Homo-oligomer: A and B are copies of this chain.
Amino acid sequence: MENKILEFASEQRLDDRVIEREFTLGEIPGTLWTPESATPAPLVLMAHNNGLPKRDSRLVARARITAAHGYAVATIDAEGCGDRPRSTADEQIRAELRRAMQAGAPRDEVDEIFESLVGPLVEKAAPEWLTTLDALLSLPEIGGPGESVGSVGYSGWMALGIRLAAVEPRIAAVGFFAGGYVPRAQREEARQVTIPLLMLLQWDDEGNPRRRALDLFDAFGSKEKTLHANLGGHTGTPAFELEDGNRFFGRHLSRHLT
C-alpha cells in the first residue's frame, strides 16, 4: 500500500472538552475525536455496520461520549461503506437483498446474498482501517499508557472487528455489538481472537438472531469474554451500556481512566 498523508480538514471544539476533527488519508475520509488533555489518550477504533455512514448520529454520539471519558476515538468510511461511492456490483447486490427480504425469502437465501455483500466489504475495509491505525498512532495526542503494542481498542461492527482483532496485535480489547451478518470467514477467524472481549446483544434484535450471536460468543478464543444482553430491538440499547463499554476499555487500555 502506498504511503498516504493524514490531512485534517476541519476542527470543532465540543462542549465536553472534546475536539472533533474531520480528516482524509488519501481517499479515506475519517473523523477523530480527542479529549483536551496534556497526556496522550488511548485510541478506540469505532466502526459502524457497513450500511451506515460515519456521520450517523448514533455513532457520533457514542464517539463523543467515549472521547469525553478520555479516549481518542476514530472512525472512517472504508471502501464501499458509508458515504463512499459504491460499485455497480455492490448496488446490484443491495437491490437483490432488499427484494429478497421484502419477498420474505428463506433465511438461507438471504444469508447467501449477505455473504456476497458483507464478505468482500470486510476484505476491502480491513486494510483501510489498518492504514488509518498506523497514521493515527503517529500523532502525539494519541498513545496512552500501553504506547505501541496493545494500546488500541475496537468498538462496533463485529465482522470487521473480528478480522482486525485476528490480525492486528496492537488491538488489546474489543467491544462488539451483535448487529448484522457475520461472513463465514469471520466466523472461522473468531477462534483466533484471544484478547478481552465484550459482546453486546439486543435480546429481540430482529435482524440478528440470538442463537447466532450466542454461537459466535462461544466461538471466540478469548479467555476473558463477557456478554451483555438487554431486552428490546436493534436500536434499543440502554445508555448505561456505553458507560459499561468505556469501563471495559478502562480495564484493558489503561489503568488511570474511569
Contact = CB atoms under 8 A, between A and B. Distances in A.
A95 interface: no
A230 interface: yes
Nearest to A210: B214
B223 A231 contact: yes
Interface string A12-26: 000000000000000
A223 B230 CA distance: 9
Interface string A218-245: 0000111111111100000010100110
A226 B224 contact: no
A197 to B, nearest CB: 9
Interface string A188-222: 00000000000000010000000000000100001
A251 interface: yes
Contacts of A223: 231
Nearest to A244: B244
B226 A228 contact: yes
B251 A247 contact: no
A226 B226 contact: no
A229 B227 contact: yes
A227 B224 contact: no
19 contacts: A203-B227, A217-B229, A224-B230, A224-B231, A224-B238, A225-B230, A225-B231, A226-B228, A226-B229, A226-B230, A226-B231, A226-B238, A227-B227, A227-B230, A228-B228, A240-B247, A240-B251, A243-B247, A244-B244
Given A226-B231, A228-B228, A243-B247, 14 more contacts: A203-B217, A203-B227, A217-B229, A222-B231, A224-B230, A224-B231, A225-B230, A225-B231, A226-B228, A226-B230, A227-B227, A227-B228, A229-B229, A240-B247
